[in-house]
A and B are shown apart, each in its own frame.
Chain A
């Protein structure tokens, strides 16, 4: 698509709010909109897992404002159901998720988790891929999927009127419970994925992410990138086996938001999960080694800009330092125009369009990352500035004024995070998947409000050692590029 808009600020800053274009963080310059004809039909494929977990980082909350009443129960199938009843709009959002992200695939079968998830809607229960897409298009339903290192699942947005709802959920039930993984379709999709992968491997941002993942996570799946040779080997039986082992009813997370009553929601949850494979699937991703040695990679690339990433293992979703790190990161590089990194790198010196930092809280400690792009001849200066800014922040912590500004934004902006069905539905999925308390949305702003400068300072010192970080520079200045 033509870039129709140029923004004052990029959407690179993570964590992203769950509104707008879903998980595609790369969508710079395009406003995602439910365009009447083109639909929002979520991408059929989510490529290269690590890029698509931005959503996981978004859990925040505040008590001063009304939060949705979340109902939770276990379906007879064993699935865990999270439900918010809301009749404001005649529509329904439904998702079913599993502990079936890339972290759960065997190291020898890289790509099998992604392909399994991506093929659920390409033939199921006697319906061909065309039958599936036609049946959903006929009723204006919008199918989608979740796929990241931890989580994999399907989503469906549909009108709540009976005929449409029934047809959308019938198809969703088949895709979840009787996928067929047709051989011919698999062969085609493998070829497409490999072509896309090869294209990505020419792009400086992808090359940087790949090197960053390896440097920060070593052989852990959180840092693993797809390889064409691995994709090539995957067979139908591998998908079927992965599906059977991980897409099980017990512990599946069903999130339902919208225009349906409790009885209807109970029926939906059971219908979508009763025929899932039996058994117990692992729910724990392998542990992450959080201590890494300092490293620096300079990779040549013909791009005009150097793409710079710095990072280290950060925090897990259940880290006791979650709140101080979240608030601290807002101050360091998460708070858009008002962060320290943005001020130093962009506002004061004009060195980059986009500069950010984020923690990606995963089941195990996910990455802490700082990123920017800048003209090659000033890349080393920019990198030095970023390192200084980080060092300074870790050595001294935030100021009281910065902390107050962060609290004002996070607490005052809380209502924006839950002002649509789509956002509330996404929170339901996260709360269910990470077993967060049902009061999570109510509790969080109170926790934010209590955070002190000292807590942030200490939490950062505990988690981030500026002398033990990985640095990647793709499109490094020529004289210094690696051999």
Chain B
């Protein structure tokens, strides 16, 4: 054996020694202290005790989002969210925020396709104040026409900023609109501009009356609190609010796709951009389902860490892409998408990038994934479970999200176990089943120069900003 050969062998052995024995890291012993109680009006209260710091977070999750909107009033879920800060019978407009601020609190709210949530973070002594204010606006919102007329302008500015003036956001919006033909996920959460212009305060009133009720919400409290005391407070503040009959929810099932769909979006930008989405299931039964877990691991193998396949191969080795990503989120009321996206590298086209991404998928369909990759993804999951304990807010968020899409919070630890149990064969199987052309929608951004995009511009004027 020549020296060189020996050196190579040694190197091989060293590399082999670095391979982790599965599982790479042991699941930590994370104490769970989650308590649950449902009030007689149907409000579910979930308490996560965490005594590391004298703070608390309150989140109220209404199980209603943009997917519950109907034609012509898209955006109303989000507009109502804004209006929730505009005063009740007892608390004048703007006063909610002032009282939370004066209590040292932080607050915000957010609307998704599936739910609408409101939260405050404060010193634990201020929890009663937060509960008093939040329960008040659950049933006493005023919704004045004057406030509405101002706030709808704010929302239109928000749409301009986040969507209309952001090239990739337009790509996503257009992509969603063609990916789904029947499911309301086809509409943007913020709403179409024309619908926003046509919205009136009565639309917001109807929305509020229909959906804002204790029996359509989950209250999550996390922090340095005792569950019993929180339940008593919740009973005091939220308990008296009567339950309401909720509108029927329609299934909106998306019919099977019958072949690849493609769109091009032209917008002011420098770099082209590619997004590919495949229809996939979301998690319905945390115990029985296995495909969503396998899809999650597949996304992890492709793009879950710095050494994952897509970045390593397409950005670093082949330099076909400047940026590349894969994503799949199993937690949704409606169907899910498996997404691949990226920006072509210098001298490469979106077609080159699409071909390269397809090659990566084909490789997995043909050869599967290695045990080493699988183990690495699972190590990320295990470590992530520890890191998540550093954020009370995120722990509460995970609980609220799960409950809002119809999974129990008790499914959270189960989901972890299920992820750890995913096999290489299952990853290969879901890649084969879902990542195929008949199931695919492709969107590309065709970048336009700044000048030609603005027809009102005087000639040459925009040049000096380049």
Contact = CB atoms under 8 A, between A and B. Distances in A.
23 contacts: A8-B84, A133-B306, A137-B379, A138-B375, A139-B20, A195-B346, A196-B271, A304-B164, A353-B161, A373-B161, A375-B157, A405-B101, A405-B102, A408-B101, A410-B104, A412-B123, A416-B105, A416-B122, A420-B391, A478-B457, A478-B458, A481-B457, A481-B461
A300 B93 CA distance: 37
A279 B421 CA distance: 52
Contacts of B462: 300-302
B458 A8 contact: no
Contact of B327 (A1, A336, A343): A1
Contacts of B149: 350
B157 A413 contact: no
A336 B390 contact: no
Interface stretch (A74-82, A86-94, A148-156): A86-94
Given A28-B162, A305-B157, A41 B306 contact: yes
Contacts of A251: none
A38 B299 contact: yes
Contacts of A140: 24-25, 379-384
B427 interface: no
B161 A130 contact: no
A301 B387 contact: no
Interface stretch (B109-117, B248-256, B281-289, B358-366): B109-117
Contacts of B457: 300, 302, 478, 481
A163 B447 CA distance: 48
A390 to B, nearest CB: 20
Contacts of B384: 34-37, 39-40, 140
Nearest to A29: B162
Interface string A154-170: 00011101011000000
Contact of B464 (A4, A159, A204, A299): A299
Interface residues of A, number: 106
Contacts of B380: 36-37, 39, 137, 140
Find the residue from A37, A90, A412 having the highest chain B CB count within 10 A.
Answer: A37
Nearest to B82: A8
Contact of B28 (A159, A350, A415): A159
Contacts of B451: 302
Interface stretch (B50-58, B135-143, B228-236): B50-58
B104 A413 contact: yes
A483 interface: yes
Contacts of A163: 25
A236 interface: no
A302 B450 contact: yes
B172 interface: yes
Contact of A137 (B55, B305, B327, B385): B305
A478 B101 contact: no
B456 A137 contact: no
B391 A19 contact: yes
A272 interface: no
A338 B104 contact: no
A19 B154 contact: no
Contacts of B375: 138
The 8 closest A-B pairs by CB, nearest first: A412-B104, A140-B383, A302-B454, A350-B153, A133-B306, A419-B53, A413-B104, A350-B150
Nearest to A406: B101
A300 B20 contact: no
Contact of A139 (B54, B172, B308, B383): B383
A91 B386 contact: yes
B25 A164 contact: yes
Interface in B291-308: 296-297, 299-300, 303-308
A73 interface: no
Given A3-B172, A133-B307, A408-B103, 4 more contacts: A6-B190, A37-B297, A198-B271, A337-B101
A351 interface: yes
Contacts of A202: 268-270, 447, 450, 466
Contacts of B104: 408-416
Interface string B335-368: 0000100010110000000000000000000000
Nearest to B389: A89
Interface in A355-398: 373-375
A114 to B, nearest CB: 17
B80 to A, nearest CB: 11
Contact of B106 (A38, A301, A416): A416
Contacts of A353: 154-155, 157-158, 161
Interface string B53-89: 1110000000000000000000000100110110000
B25 A7 contact: no
A253 B236 CA distance: 50
Interface in B169-215: 169, 172, 176, 189-190
A3 B176 CA distance: 11
A373 B157 contact: yes
A414 B105 CA distance: 9
Contacts of B28: 90, 159
Contacts of B150: 347-350
B440 interface: no
A188 B269 contact: no
B377 interface: yes
B416 interface: yes
Given A137-B376, A138-B379, A337 B53 contact: no
B165 interface: yes
Contacts of A66: 54
A137 B303 CA distance: 11
B322 A192 contact: yes
Contacts of B190: 3, 6
Q: Which of B54, B176, B384, B454 has the most CB of A within 10 A?
A: B384
A413 B172 contact: no
A191 B97 contact: no
B176 A37 contact: no
A111 interface: no
B316 interface: yes
Contacts of B307: 130, 133-134, 136-137
B221 interface: no
A343 B94 CA distance: 9
A38 B300 contact: yes
B153 A418 contact: no
B112 to A, nearest CB: 5
A415 B24 contact: no
A19 B169 contact: no
Contacts of B226: none
Nearest to B328: A37
Nearest to B452: A302
Interface string B226-268: 0000000000000000000000000000000000000000001
Interface stretch (B37-45, B392-400, B429-437): B392-400
Given A140-B383, A142-B387, A37 B300 contact: yes
A195 B169 contact: no
A328 interface: no
B36 interface: no
A192 B345 CA distance: 7
Contacts of B322: 191-192, 195-196
B95 to A, nearest CB: 10
Nearest to A89: B389
Contacts of B465: 201, 207, 299-301, 474
A294 interface: no
A352 B157 contact: yes
Given A350-B151, A419-B55, A478-B456, A34 B388 contact: yes
A338 B346 contact: no
Nearest to A413: B104
